[in-house]
Each structure stands twice: as C-alpha cells, then as structure tokens.
Amino acid sequence: MNKTYRNILFALLSLLVLIGLFTGQHRLTQSTEAASGDRMVPQFVVDPFWPQPLPNKWLLGRTIGIAVDPRDHIYIVHRDQDSMFMAQELGLDRGQAECCTAAPPIIEFDSDGNLIRAWGGPGEGYTWPESNHGIEIAPNGNVWIGGNGGGDSHVLVFTGEGDFIREIGLPGEDIDSNSTSHFSRVAEIAIDVEANEAYFADGYGNKRVAVVDVATGAFKRYWGAYGNRPSDDRVTYVPGEPLPQQFVGPVHCAVPSVDNLIYVCDRGADRIQVFRPDGTFVKEGQVAPLTLGGSTWDIAFSRDPEQEFIFVADGANHKVHILERDSLEVLAEFGDGGRQPGLFFGTHSIITDSAGNIYTTETYEGKRVQKFIDQGLKRLDTARDGAPWPADALH
C-alpha cells in the first residue's frame, strides 16, 4: 500500500469517526432534549389579589413565618416592633398622619385571603420572642412559634385564639447545641402528625435538629449535619470545596415527608440534607451552590400522594426553585428580585395548601405574603423564569 493511498484511507476513516461522533452527540442531545421536554413539572401563576387588604390601617413588618391548617387557613407571623418600620410608616401611632400602625404579630387568613383573627405579643406567664421567627399549626389547632433573637432559646405554644399553653425550653439561655433543656434561636417548627413529634430547626444559635413530644413538649433527641454530634464551633462554606461536616447554619428548616424522611435546610451551605427520624443521614443536594448568602431558606412539598416535588424558598436569589424530591435535582424556578406581584425581596418561608397552591413570605423590606395558584403539571420546556404571570399578561 503506497503512502498516498494510506493517507487517503486514514482521512476517510477519520471523517467517518467524526461523522459517527457528531451523529451520536446529535442523537444524545435530541434524546436529552426530548426527555427534558417530556418531563412534567408543576407550574404556577401569582394571585395579585391575595390576601385582601388588612383593616385598621395595619401594616406588616418582616414576614418571617407561614403555616397552613387542615381548613386551608393560612397563618403568618411577622415582626411588629417599631424598629421594623420607617418613622413615616407609623404616622398614626406617632400622631403625625392618618396611617399607619403595625398589625398584631400572628395573623390568620381563610383560603380567600379574608382576615379571620390577629393576636400575639408579650403577656403574663411567658416570654415573648425578641425576634419572631417560624410558625406551625398542630393537628388540634394549637399555634407554635419560635424566635431568633438574643435570648430566644425557647418555643411558645398557644391556642388558635391566642391563649397561652406552654413554654418549651428555658428562655434567656446561651448557645449549646448539645443541651436537652433549651434551644438557641429556633428558625422553624414542623410537626409529624403520626409520630406526634415536633421538629425544631435549631437554628440561628445552635446547629442541629431537635425533636420534642407534641403533647408534652418533652425533649426526645437531636443531631447535627450527617447525623454527627453537633458542635458550636464556627463553620464556613466555600463553594467548590468539600462540604462541612457540621451545619454551617442557620439550620433554617426541618420538615418530615410522607415516607418518613426529614428534610433539613442548611441555609449557609446552600444544601438540603435528608435524614431518617432517628438522625441517620440518607443523602444531600445543593441548590444554587455559588450563593454566598445562602439559598435554602425553607421548603414545602407538592401535595400529590408521593410528594414528588420540593419547592425551595431562596431569599438570596429572590426566587422559588422546583426540585425533584427523590434526586434533589433542580428542575425549574420562578420569581426574581422586584416589588411587583410574583417577584420577591427576601423570599423567606413557603407552604402549600391542600389544592397545591404555594404561599410565600418575604423578610427585610419585602414585608408581605403572596399566593401562587397551581396550574397543574406541564411540560418542562414550557416553564418560564421570572414573574409567574399568565402568558397573556406579559408584553
């Protein structure tokens, strides 16, 4: 075989290999696009008229927690201290203008957004949190609230009408992630109805999940990241480096699923860790892992029987992420920074009602609650980023 012939043959073979690689990649891309296009995800549109305007010239402060009861009544907790408002906002209180005044810290709405009742604040027999944070409704209608201010090392339980029932943990204590007598700046509370247990995301001071008995408030168990014994040492998160073996914090949510797993938000590490109820580590996943302000602020599950999806409130990137629960893969998202309906500033807490609708709260100067109406499952390739408005409302 002469040299020229060998060169021609080599060139032809090389061309065939390149064609084969291109064809294979093209088919793979088509297959991936088809799989992505065929994937169904829930989609939503914002309800700009929920809730109804508050009476009494009331304003919301930093809206820092949200919960839902079996009637689909929505409860929020916000920070009503004067320091949460500009002086001009409290003109009524100061005798300077016709409006406004802070609403009571606990507010209950019906599913249409009508105000049902409002209550809360300091009272006899208990220590009201220095900084309200987190709310949960027990099966019997009792309201549980936490706090993330200095000295907020306890959780309070009230009736739905606001009558004091119980203080869990000693108030005024310092950080101790291995204490069985108090907590430290509990961020969120979630109740496992079948087990009659309450999970505390404990929290801004401590770096753990703590579990108590719902009926008595008795302390039961706790754990740290990966099921380790928690430490109070300062931990930092650096994107691209190995994930810390302790929670970075704040430990911002701890939510049980229908299949008896506990999903924990380690906000400072942009991660969700999954555990069995005894603290055995199962798996973890990250959301927007380059976020230095923390992306995993709170989660809620979709309302299908399998809870196929997780909705993640991301207050640093001002949006809601939609994850596949089994893989913790981010599939879609909605929202962005802004003031208009469907946009966010400090997306803080999130829940779903029995119809699959999403409700969010906003902290900092967001100071509001929003509702997003479930539009059912639609093809992933039709999902839109940004404000979830109806398509005919966008120009």
pLDDT-above-90 percentage for the chain: 88
For residue 9, is pLDDT > 60?
A: no
Q: What is the DSSP string of 323-367?
A: EETTTTEEEEEEB-BSSSTT-BSSEEEEEE-TT--EEEEE-TT--
Overall average pLDDT of the 238-264 stretch: 98
List Cβ neighbours of 222 (8 Å cut-off, separation of 6 or more).
177, 178, 180, 202, 208, 209, 210, 211, 230, 279
**Residue 249, φ and ψ in degrees, nearest 5:** 85, 165
Dihedrals phi, psi of 35, to nearest 5 degrees: -65, -40
Amino acid in position 153: S
Convert the pLDDT of each residue in 144-173 to its tens digit.
999 999 999 999 999 999 999 999 999 999
CB 35 within 8 A of CB 380: no
Any residues with CB less than 8 A from the CB of 320 and at least 6 apart, and which?
Answer: 311, 312, 313, 314, 333, 334, 335, 344, 347, 350, 358, 360, 372
Q: Which of 310, 368, 297, 293 is nearest to 338 (CA)?
A: 368
* Res 38: pLDDT: 85
Residue where the block lists tokens 């987190």 = 134
Q: CA end-to-end span of the chain, whole Å? A: 68
Query: How many Å apart are CA 145 and CA 123, to the nearest integer?
Result: 15
Contact in structure between 61 and 367 (CB atoms under 8 Å): yes
pLDDT at 276: 98
Q: Which residues of 220-247 are buried (b: 16+ CB within 10 A; e: fewer)?
A: eebbbbbeeebbbeebebeeeeebbebb
At residue 6, the pLDDT reads: 54
Sheet-wide strand order for 186-192? 186-192, 197-202, 208-213, 219-223
The pair phi, psi for residue 30, each rounded to 5°, is -60, -40
- The 3-state DSSP class for residue 214 equals coil
Residue 212, SS3 per DSSP:
strand
pLDDT confidence bin for 394, thresholds 50/70/90: confident
| Cα separation, 374 vs 380, whole angstroms | 15
Average pLDDT over residues 328-337: 98
pLDDT at residue 299 greater than cutoff 70: yes
**Which sign does the torsion angle of CA 222, 225, 226, 230 carry?**
negative
Quote the pLDDT of residue 28: 35
Per-residue buried b or exposed e for 89-106, using 16+ beta carbons within 10 Å of the residue's own CB: bbbbbeeeeeebbbbbbb
Tell me the average pLDDT across 69-98.
Answer: 95
* pLDDT given for residue 30 in this prediction: 37
The pLDDT score that the predictor gives to residue 5 is 53
8 A C-beta contact, residue 367 and residue 63: yes
* pLDDT on residue 2: 54
Provide the pLDDT for residue 36. 59
> What pTM value is reported for the model?
0.90
CA dist., res. 213 & res. 136, Å (int)? 14
**70 burial type by CB count under 10 A (0-12 exposed, 13-18 middle, 19+ buried):** exposed
Burial grade of 264 (CB within 10 A; 0-12, 13-18, 19 or more)? buried
Closest CA to 296 of 262, 264, 326: 264
Q: 41-393 belongs to which CATH class?
A: mainly beta
